Structure 1
Amino acid sequence: MKQVLFICLGNICRSPMAEAVMRDLVEKNGLTSKIKVDSAGTSDYHIDEPPHRGTKAKLQEYGISTSGMKARQLRSSDLRDFDYLVCMDDSNVSNTIEMLRAEGHAKVFRFLDLTPHKKDVPDPWYTGDFQETYDLCLEGCETLLEKIEADL
C-alpha cells in the first residue's frame, strides 16, 4: 500500500482539499485497498477543526465529501509512515524538512512540481479563491495518481 500525506500551514484549506480530491479519485479508480490518503499542517493553529467552510463548500459543489476530516499537525512518525509527503508551497517544504529532519528525502516535495505549473498552490485563506485551489488540486492529484500507479 502507498500512503500519501498532503501538507499545508493550517490543514484547513489546501491540504484537506487535496486529501478529499485524492480520496475521491482513488475511490473512483478502485484503488482504496492500494492507496491511503491523509493531510496535516505544519502549524498547530487549527488542530481538530474541520476543513474551512470555503473548502467544504467548493468540494460539495463537486460532490466530494469532507466527512470525518479534522486538522492535525505534522508529526515525526509521518516521515516513516508515508511514501509521499506532498507540500502545497515552498514554505511548507522547508517547514516539513525542518520539523521532520528530512533533508535529502525525495518523498518530501512541492505538489505542483509534478505539473507543468511548477508553482505554489495559493492559500485561499488569503486569496479567497477556492476555485483556483480546487482546480490546481484536481490537476495535481490526477498527476500524482498517475505517478503512484506507476510506482505500485
Structure 2
Amino acid sequence: MIKVLFVCLGNICRSPMAEAVFRHKVKQAGLADLIEVDSAGTGDWHTGERPHEGTRRILKHNGVDDSGIRARQVRKLDFEHCRYIIAMDKSNVNDLTRWTPAEHQAEVKKLLDFVPKHNGGDVPDPYYTGNFQEVYDMVDEGCDRLLAYIREKEQV
C-alpha cells in the first residue's frame, strides 16, 4: 500500500481539503486499493474536529466527499508508514524536518512543488484569508500533478 499524508498547521482547512480531493482522484483512477490517503496537522488545537465549514462547503460544491475526516496531529508512526508526506507550506516542511526520525523513508515535499506555475510556493491558509476557492484550485491542480508523479514513480 502506498500511503500519502497531507500536512498543514491545524488539519482543518488545507490538508483535509487535499486529503478529500486526492482520495477522490485516487478513487476515480481506480487506485483506491493501492493508495491510502490521510491528513494531519503540525499542531494539536483541533484534534477530533471535522474540517472547517469553508473547506466542507467548497468540497461539497465540487462534488468531493469529506466524510470520515477528523483533525489529528502528525505522529512518529507517520514517518514510518507513509511513503509521501505532502506539506502545504514551508513552515510545515520545517516542522516535519525537525521531527523526522533519521531512519525515515518518507518523501517530504510541498504540494506546490509539483505545480510549475506556482514555483514551489505555499498554499495560503484560508483559515486566515477566507479564500477557499483559491486554495481549492491550487489543491486540485497539485493533487492532479502529485497523482501523476506517484503513478510514474510507483509504476501504477
Question: Aligned in 2, Cα 1:102/1:15: closer, same or farther, shift over 3 Å?
Answer: farther
Spell out the pairing of 1:27-66 with structure 2 (5 A cutoff).
27-66=27-66
Contact 1:50 1:71 in 2 (8 A): yes
Counterpart residue identity of residue 30, structure 2:
G
TM-score, L = length of structure 1: 0.96
Q: Find the partner of 1:137 among 136, 139, 142.
A: 139
Q: Percent identity?
A: 51
Instruction: Give the Å deviation of 1:55.
Output: 0.1
1:93 counterpart residue number: 93
Distance (whole Å) between structure 1 residues aligned to residue 106 and residue 24 of structure 2: 25
Which one is further off, 102-111 or 88-97? 102-111
Instruction: Give the Å deviation of 1:108.
Output: 0.9
Distance (whole Å) between structure 2 residues aligned to residue 14 and residue 147 of structure 1: 20
Contiguous gaps of at least 5 residues in structure 2:
none
Q: Give SS of 1:143's match.
A: helix
- Stretches of 4+ aligned residues off by more than 2 angstroms: 99-106
Question: Aligned in 2, Cα 1:114/1:100: closer, same or farther, shift over 3 Å?
Answer: same
Contiguous gaps of at least 5 residues in structure 1:
none
1:123 counterpart residue number: 125
Q: Give SS of 1:72's match.
A: coil
What do you get for the CA RMSD once the two structures are aligned? 1.5
Per-residue CA shift, 1:34-64, capped at 9, x if unaligned? 1110000000010000000000000000111
